[in-house]
Amino acid sequence: MKPKIITIVGKSNSGKTTLLEKLIAHLTDRGHRIGSVKHAHDGFEMDKEGKDSWRHRKAGARATLVITQDEVAIVKDDKTSYVEKMRSYLSDMDLILAEGFKKQALPKIEVFRAQSVHKVPLCMEDENLIAFVTDSDYKPEAPLFGLEDIRQIADFIELNFLKS
């Protein structure tokens, strides 16, 4: 069975990465295998210019795998959808938590701060909004959590996405 995917969305500096870090740690402590994905813009370079793996890619390799005793990293040409990539490369995980991907039709947890430079949340009308994490007065139709309610958010994810 392929893992389910939940996206953590919000505008810049809303606290997406902080929430993701805390959720990963909490769910991992509970024994779940969590894969994470960060959206990057096209043309990003994982390797540093001049490194061997970078040189292999520039020479025309369509996939480059960097392997150590305990880790692996891959840079590969892949024209499949975001969702297909996540599920394919992280198929051995219990759950995938992805940062970004607000336009994808995936379950979303939005992080929105009251003191943000952004005046309104992104996903108030999105049918894929499954939870809203905020310190503001916004109250969408989705379950509402405070910014530090990590245990409760993890409980929600576990109950709805990790328990069969």
Nearest residue to 162 via CA among 27, 19, 70, 18: 27
Q: How do strand 72-76 and strand 63-67 relate by DSSP bridges? A: antiparallel
Between the CA of residue 159 and those of 43, 84, 103, 152, 156, what are the distances in Å?
A: 38, 24, 25, 10, 5
Domain boundaries, the chain: 4-42+79-162
The pLDDT score that the predictor gives to residue 43 is: 62
H or E stretch covering 98: strand 95-99
The pLDDT score that the predictor gives to residue 52 is: 83
The pLDDT score that the predictor gives to residue 137 is: 92
* CATH number for the domain formed by residue range(s) 4-42+79-162: 3.40.50.300
The pLDDT score that the predictor gives to residue 84 is: 93
| pLDDT string in tens for the chain (164-residue length) | 789 999 999 998 899 999 999 999 999 999 999 999 988 766 666 667 888 888 888 888 888 888 888 988 888 889 999 999 999 999 999 999 999 899 999 999 999 998 877 788 999 889 999 999 999 999 999 999 999 999 999 999 999 999 86
